[in-house]
Amino acid sequence: MPLCEAVTRPSMSFVPVKGPEQQGLSMLHSAPSQLIGQRTQLINAVRGHLSELGIVAERGLLGLAELAVIVRDACL
């Protein structure tokens, strides 16, 4: 819906602009979840690449630690 049409609707509600403090708090709350998501993507990518080589382990952080041990031992 175009902005000019939305403004003319009687049921349209408006919200105040966030101040710098409120925006900062919002960023503080969203940053950890973004980092967790990126960590999960990275773990899944590593697991996927290693599984193509026949190296598999459990899912999650414990599985990643197990994969690290397997790869380290194979390189020694």
Q: How many domains does the chain have?
A: 1
- The pLDDT score that the predictor gives to residue 13 is 80
Does 3 reside within a domain? no
Is 10's pLDDT higher than 90? no
- The pLDDT score that the predictor gives to residue 12 is 77
Residues 18-41: what's their mean pLDDT? 94
Q: Could you tell me the two tokens for 29?
A: 């709350």
Residues 46-59: what's their mean pLDDT? 94
Does 71 reside within a domain? yes
Q: How far apart are CA 46 and CA 60, in angstroms?
A: 11
Is 5's pLDDT higher than 80? no
Does 9 reside within a domain? no
Q: How far apart are CA 57 and CA 33, in angstroms?
A: 25
pTM of the full structure: 0.66
Domain span at 48: 26-76
CA 75 vs CA 43, 50, 60, 64: distances in Å:
20, 14, 23, 16
